[in-house]
Amino acid sequence: MPSPGAAEPFRGLRRTVHRRPVVQPTVWSVPHDGVPVTDPYVRRYWTPLLGPGAVADLLRLATAAARNRSLPRPIYLTELARAGLVRDSGGALEVRIRIPEVPPHLHRHLPPRLRRELAWPPADRVSP
């Protein structure tokens, strides 16, 4: 005897449930030189600003763009676009694979410890 509901997997779902559309991200070529999206800097400093879900979406988008693959539309796409990390250019979703350093006007949104770290950047982060 099957488990209750096993034969009808979608019966208990709300009527408003729907699949997210699929997007095909491409690499956004910007002249700005930043850190690679996989650099620990992105997780350490951008996560408190955007949230862990948005940073995870950013990493998935960058990986999909680099591999020329599609994926379901990220939930945090609006937040990533507001931060300037992705953009819609004529129907194509572009994602940065090099992430800029946190702009000074956003430093005040970081916890004090991280704010102090950014006030004196390590030597490998200083631009020539």
Q: What is the pLDDT of residues 6-48, one digit of tens each?
A: 555 556 667 777 788 888 999 988 776 789 999 999 999 999 9
Q: Does 128 have pLDDT greater than 50?
A: no
Output 110 or 8, whichever has higher pLDDT.
Answer: 110
Question: How many CB atoms are closer than 10 A to CB 110?
Answer: 18
Please, which residues bridge with residue 95 across strands?
27, 86
CA-based nearest residue to 78, from 69, 89, 87: 87
Whole-number Cα distances in Å, 119 to 4, 80, 88, 122: 58, 24, 33, 10
- Rounded Cα distance between 92 and 90, Å, is 6
